[in-house]
Amino acid sequence: MSQTLALASSNQGKLAEFLAMSDSIGSSSPSLQPVLLPNFNFLPTFEENAPTLAENAAGKALHYSQFAAGRILADDSGLVVPALGGAPGVRSARYAGPNASSAERSAKLLNEMQHLTGEERRAYFVCVLAVAEKGRVLAVISARADGEILPAARGTGGFGYDPVFYVLERGKTFAELSAAEKNALSHRGKAFRRLLSAQIL
């Protein structure tokens, strides 16, 4: 029997990644079908103002589980630059203001890092996934991906900070990797595989 996992988001880029990850896992989880939560933009909004990614992800999953049957998947992800005191961190999506574009957020980050060199440019992505059903949290799982921030954007794939996040082991930014390559290395890909291995879906 197929099982729908509703993603609490209207972000088509995130959905595409989850679909690709589900397809790549294939034989081990053939019935899993991620979809965007129906009418997401018309549902009461969950304010992601908690101090941690885990609290935001769990709170979002719980919130939207009130409005739909089945299991709801929510994620909160952030880019951490230790040399900037952990920024953008939990505020990654709002780093340059609530309505800023991905390019504007990346531009602000590059501007604030323009005097940093070497190890100071190290960074990592963190993804926290939470699954809830009928007002109960079933799982909260996290993972990270390490890299560094380039002085300028490279590549046209991905979304968010992907064009400035450089993966040393591949010699490319997330935006230059194929979808399959990125999913194998990314924080979201690692967290999703951990979620599936937990066997709660």
Looking at residue 6, its amino acid is A
Q: Which residues are catalytic?
A: 76
